[in-house]
Amino acid sequence: MAKDRFLTQGVITKRQRNGKPVDSARKPNQKQGQKAKQSGHVTSKRHGKPNESDDSGDEVGDIENLEHRHDIDPDEMSSEDELLETAAEKRLRLAKDYISKIKESTELEADEYDAAQIDRDLVAERLMTDALERTGKWSRRIADMFAYDIDEVKHMRVLKNGHRLPVTCVALTPDGRFVYSGSKDGSLIKWQRDTGKVLKMFPGQKKKNPPPDYNRGHWDHILCIAVSSDGRYVATGGRDRRIHIWSVADDKHLAAFHQHKDAITGLVFRRGFNHLYSCSADRMVKLWNIDELAYMDTLFGHQDAIVSIDALQRESAVTTGGRDKTVRLWKIADEAQLLFRAGASTDQHRIVKTMKEAQQLDSDIGTLAAQADSEKHNETLRKLAATESSLSETSVDVVTMIDEETYVTGGDSGALSLWSIHKKKPVFIHHVAHGLYPCVGGESKQSEEDADTFHDDVNVDERIVRPRWITALAAVALTDLFFSASSDGVVRMWRMRSGKVPGFDLVNVIRVDGFINGLSVREISPNGDILASKKDIVLAVAVGQEHRLGRWEKVKVRNVVKVFHLSPSRKTLSA
C-alpha cells in the first residue's frame, strides 16, 4: 500500500521551489490517501502523536504540513506566533486587556457593595459609556451628583490682586492645576489654582513699543483665551487684532498671528489636536496649526461680527453671528456649513405653551435653592403672560457644545436655546433664563437694592422690562451638565433631560455677583486616577465690573477670578 501524502516527508508539489524540477514519480495515489483518512491513520498534535515528518528534513513542505495555531496558549505564544496572529485574535486580546484595566479602576467602588454582581455592572456601564463617547453623543449623567448646597467658604477660592480692569475671559488647563485669565488692561495672568498665587504675569504692551517687544503681548483688551487639550499651549486674542501663542511649561511667548482684520472675539482648540479655531468681528473663521505655528485656512459665511465659537473632537466648529441672528456649523473636512436661524421670541403664546409643558414634568428637581428659583421664574413668566409684552432676540452672543450634534446658545433676549444639527429651529427654549431688570421712565435701575429685580413684586405691566442677556456658557463635554451666567449675580447649573423629550432643567445655583464674562469647566480625576467613574468638577468664573465687549453698564464688584471645586456626592436624584 502506497504511503499517504499527508504522512510523507518532503512531498514536492508541481510548483517549482529553488529552481528544482518537479518529480512526478513521487506523487501519491489520491484514492489511497482518502482511504487512509477514513480509516483514521492520520494523527495530529491535538488528537494524537505528532507526525514522523515533524523531526526530520530541512526542505520546505506543502501547505498541508502547516500547524493549526488556533489552540495555542496566548501566554506561550512566541514573537513569531504574534506576527501570525489574526485580526480577530488581536481584537480579542486587546479587548481582554481593556476590560482588565477597567476592572482594576472599579475595584474600589465594587468593594463597597456586592463585589461579584456590581463589578460586572460597572464594567458593562463603562464599556457602554466609552462606546457612546466615540460616537460623539453625550452619554454620562453627572448633573445630579452636584445637586447639593454649595458653600462659598468650603468650595470657592478667589484669585485676586491681579487685574486692574474687568476680567474678560478665563481658561483652565486640562489637569485643573493652573488658571489663565485675561483682562481689559491687556494683561495675561497664570494662577496656581490650589493656592491662588500668581505664577506668571504677562503685562500689556504699549502700542508704540519697538521690536522685539511689540509682538510679545497685547496692547489692547484681551477678549478670549483657550488652552490646548494636551496642556502645552495657551492662545489669547484681543481687540488689537492679534492672536498670541504662549507656552504653558516654559511661560514664554511663542508666536503672534496678524491675519485677522478686526477684534478677535473667540478661540477654541480642537480636542485631541493642536488645531486652533478663531473667530473675529471681521466675520471670518480662521484655522491654525499650533504645532507648526502656521496658518491653515479661512472660512466665510457670516454677515455680521462673529462673537462666539466652540468645538469638540470632530473636525467641525459652531459659531454665532451676533446680529445676523444665525448659528453656523462648519464641516471643515467637507468644506461645507449648516445654517441655523436664531432670533427666539418670548411672547404670551410661547410662554403659556412652555408653562403647560413644564407642568407635565417633575418639579422636584435639584436643590431647594434651585426649586425656589424655578418657582420665582415661573411667577415672572405668569406676569409676562398676563401682558402683551414681547421679547425678541436681536443678537446671538454665546454658544457651547453639549456633544457633536447638540449645542446651546444664548443672546440678548435672555433665552437659552437648545439645538440639534438635525433641526433648523431650536428643539427647546427656556425663556428669560436669568430674569429681567426694569427700566422705569427709560432709565435702568442698577443699584444694589435692585440687583434681584427678577423676583420682585412690582407689576410687569407698570414698567418697561428688559431681559438680562446671557453673557457666558460652558458645558462638561459629552455629559448632561452645563452652566450659564449673566449679570444677575447667579451662575445656573442645568441638567439635560433624558428620554425622547428634549430640554433641560435647573439643578443648582451658585451665587456670584458682577458681570460674568467667562466660564471654564474641567473634569479632574481624584488622586490622578484617569479611569475613575466619578470625577470632580472645577469651575472658573471671570468676574468684572463691565461687559467684556463694552461699557454699557457698571456694577460695584471686584475684578477677580472665582474658582469652585465641586466633588460628586454619593446621593443622586431621580432622572
Listing DSSP states for 362-419 in one string gives -S--S-HHHHHHHHHHHHHHHHHHTS---EE---EEEEEEEETTEEEEEETT--EEEE
Of residues 315 and 20, more confidently modeled: 315
How far is Cα 471 from Cα 434, in angstroms, rounded to an integer?
10
| DSSP SS3 for 334 | coil
Grid coordinates representing 213 are 517687544
Q: What percent of the chain has pLDDT over 70?
A: 71
- Residue 121: predicted pLDDT: 61
DSSP string, 108-119: HHHHTS-HHHHH
Contact (Cβ atoms closer than 8 angstroms) between residue 219 and residue 253: no
What pairs with residue 328 in β-bridges?
319, 339
| DSSP SS3 for 565 | strand
| Strand-pair category, 167-172 with 178-183 | antiparallel
- Residue 41: predicted pLDDT: 45
pLDDT in tens, 485-525: 999 999 999 999 987 889 999 999 999 999 999 999 999 98
Contact (Cβ atoms closer than 8 angstroms) between residue 482 and residue 475: yes
Q: 335 to each of 287, 329, 379, how far by Cα in Å?
A: 13, 11, 47
Angle subtended at Cα 443 by Cα 515 and Cα 164, rounded to the nearest 5 degrees: 30
Helix H segments across 138-255?
152-155
pLDDT in tens, 322-367: 999 999 999 999 999 999 999 888 887 788 888 877 776 666 678 9
Nearest CA to 343 among 440, 455, 438, 424? 424
- Residue 526: predicted pLDDT: 81
- Residue 466: predicted pLDDT: 86
Among 62-71, 283-292, 527-536, which stretch is predicted with the lowest mean pLDDT?
A: 62-71
The mean per-residue pLDDT over the stretch 259-265 comes to: 96
How far is Cα 356 from Cα 56, in angstroms, rounded to an integer?
87
Amino acid at 66: L
Other CB atoms within 10 Å distance of the CB of residue 19: 5
The set of residues, in sequence order, having a beta carbon less than 8 Å from that of 512 and lying 6+ positions away, is 485, 489, 490, 491, 541, 543, 562
- Residue 463: predicted pLDDT: 56
The residue whose grid cell reads 466648529 is 317
Grid coordinates representing 465 are 422690562
What pairs with residue 236 in β-bridges?
225, 244
Of residues 21 and 125, more confidently modeled: 125
| 561 burial via Cβ count (<10 Å: 0-12, 13-18, 19+) | buried
| Strand-pair category, 243-247 with 406-411 | unpaired
How far is Cα 505 from Cα 324, in angstroms, rounded to an integer?
29
What pairs with residue 341 in β-bridges?
326
Nearest CA to 527 among 518, 519, 536? 536
- Residue 359: predicted pLDDT: 72
Q: Write down the mean pLDDT value for the chain.
A: 80
Nearest CA to 474 among 534, 401, 368, 559? 401
| DSSP SS3 for 55 | helix
What pairs with residue 342 in β-bridges?
none
Of residues 208 and 344, more confidently modeled: 344
Is 53 a residue whose pLDDT tops 70? Answer: no
pLDDT in tens, 6-33: 455 544 444 444 444 444 444 444 444 4
- Residue 433: predicted pLDDT: 95
| CA 19, chain centre distance (Å) | 63
Contact (Cβ atoms closer than 8 angstroms) between residue 28 and residue 4: yes
| CA 568, chain centre distance (Å) | 19
Amino acid at 345: S
- Residue 498: predicted pLDDT: 85
Amino acid at 133: E
The set of residues, in sequence order, having a beta carbon less than 8 Å from that of 105 and lying 6+ positions away, is 126, 529, 531, 532, 533
Grid coordinates representing 109 are 467602588
pLDDT in tens, 363-404: 667 899 999 999 999 898 888 888 777 888 999 999 999 999
Confidence of residue 131 (pLDDT cuts 50, 70, 90): low
How far is Cα 147 from Cα 537, in angstroms, rounded to an integer?
12
The mean per-residue pLDDT over the stretch 95-105 comes to: 74
Amino acid at 69: R
